[in-house]
Amino acid sequence: MENVAAVILAAGKGTRMKSGLVKVLHPAAGRPMIAWPVAAARAAGAAPVVVVVGHQADAVRQVFHDFPDIRTALQEEQLGTGHAVACAREQLADFSGTVLILCGDTPLLRAETLRELIATHRHEGAALTVLTAVVDNPYGYGRVIRDRAGRVTRIVEQKDATPEEQALCEINSGIYCMEAGFLNANIGAISSDNAQKEFYLTDLVSIAAAKGLTCLGHRTAAAEEIMGVNDRAQLAEASRILRRRINYDLMCAGVSLIDPEHSYIDGSVTIGPDTSVHPNCRISGTTAIGSGCVIESGVSIDDCSIGDGCHIKAGSVLEGSQLLAEVSVGPMAHLRPGTVLNDHVKIGNFVETKKISMGAGSKASHLTYLGDAGIGSNVNIGCGTITCNYDGVNKHRTVIGDDVFIGSDVQLVAPVEVGRNSLVAAGTTVTVDVPPDSLAISRVPQVNKVGWRLKKK
């Protein structure tokens, strides 16, 4: 929508979170809570967006570091929602249009709902429109007072309300739409003459009504969307609803979730059709998964790129890794950052990798550590192989050519290179480079002392 700005209030501490971290930075479905209403405002077309920061201001600013259309305004002392909006005025000095005002702790708010709010506000030529909802338990919220014609005349806070007012079930969501001219002309008129000695933004409603300006209440049926998060129980509830939405969209796009209530997938993740995700997986960050993959139970994937037809078996952990097509990993494998696995690579159980590349068709099927290594294609890495990459001071590289066969229980003391098509015998400790097409073997010859045990007794 054209000519819309947004102010998002996020200066409060969030005392009921009982946390060292300011409330709006607590993560909800993979993003700091504040990022959700900001995204909704931007998706509704708001620019600029001004975030009012106070507690842990620098940390909150950091969230928007890469977004030039998001500005911040500092509210040094939290003197109330009216005072918070006044702090944002300077950032909007050159703006004349419609201003959305939102709270940083409403992660469920959708852009569609904001668009509806703005459309109603503009259609009726209102000075101020407040988003309201009718709820079963209005305790704690501001109540919406309407006149006989249905116009909103006042909002009264819980602590200032009479028993009759407290019985009203239409609440103020804390989300508003107002004309910049009206806002600028009247924000200075708000006083702190109330039970909490705070500057209430809601006073703008009675100010507009007293001047005979149109003041609307836009009632939304989506009461869930305006749920404010005040404590950790509400945070868990909001996160669950966000995950449901993400999971629903994935299923609509052709992804099978065996148990969507137990699938923890961030909104930033993409997954192709015909991939199935089993219960209790956590998939986060910039992860992109192709089509036709199987992600078994208890898998954790962060910042990975996974090609089509891959199979990630139960209990594996994948971080910052790139898998091409038809790769098989796990069960219980750990791919650490910098792992690159080409087509048809197989990584089996209890294998750990870090900063390695493996060419097409190579295998490390069991109990192996591969770090700082460049491994060719069609290489077999036997059970118990270790790249000894660290000498206590520096990391060193291991290079293994195409078609190499590494037997079981081999240590490769880096820096070391095994040439293409060589075979390293089981139990060998490789300390010098192996030329191509060779056999490397380093073992103490076996001695059998017959009858030795009988003599001991």
Q: Which residues have a catalytic role annotated?
A: 366
Binding mask 34-53 for ligand UD1 (x = CB under 6 A): ------------------x-
Given 4, 9, 205, 327, the residue binding ligand UD1 (CB under 6 A): 9
Question: What count of Cα atoms within 13 Å lies in the side-chain half-sphere of residue 309?
Answer: 9
We find the least distance from the C-beta atom of residue 9 to ligand UD1, in angstroms, to be 3
Per-residue b or e along 102-127, where b marks 16 or more CB atoms closer than 10 Å to that residue's CB: bbbbbbbbbbebbbbbbebbbeeebb
SS3 content of the chain, % helix, strand, coil (to 5): 25, 30, 45
Q: Write out the binding residues for ligand UD1, residues 401-440 only, by CB under 6 A.
A: none
- Closest approach of ligand UD1 to the CB of residue 142, in Å: 2
* 441-to-252, 264, 368, 410, 435 alpha-carbon distances in Å: 56, 48, 19, 10, 13
Q: Does 10 participate in binding ligand UD1 (rule CB under 6 A)?
A: yes
One-letter amino acid at 423 equals: L
Q: Does 138 bind Ca ion (CB under 5 A)?
A: no
**CA-CA distance, 308 to 105, in Å (whole number)?**
38
Whichever of 46 and 301 has its CB closer to ligand UD1, that residue is 46
User: Of the two residues 201 and 289, which places its CB atom closer to ligand UD1 in the complex?
Assistant: 201
| Cβ nearer to ligand UD1, comparing 127 with 130 | 130
**Binding to ligand UD1 (CB under 6 A): which residues in 198-227?**
200-202
Residues in region 57-86 near ligand UD1 by CB under 6 A: 75, 78-81, 83-84
Among the listed residues 174, 307, 371, 382, the single contact to ligand UD1 using CB under 6 A = 174
Nearest-CB residue for Ca ion: 228
* 308-367 positions binding ligand UD1, by CB under 6 A: none
Residue corresponding to tokens 């590349």: 357
Angle at 45 between CA 43 and CA 48, to 5 degrees: 110
In one-letter notation, the amino acid at residue 16 is: R
Nearest Cα neighbor of 106 from 273, 237, 261, 276 is 237
Give Cα 37 distance to the centre of its chain.
14
CA 449 from centre of chain: 64
Site string for Ca ion, 210-249 (x = CB under 5 A): ------------------x---------------------
Of residues 85-144, those binding ligand UD1 (CB under 6 A): 103-105, 141-142
Q: How far apart are CA 41 and CA 44, in angstroms?
A: 5
Nearer to Ca ion, 33 or 250 (CB): 33
Contact set with ligand UD1 (CB under 6 A):
9-12, 52, 54, 75, 78-81, 83-84, 103-105, 141-142, 155, 157, 171-174, 200-202, 228
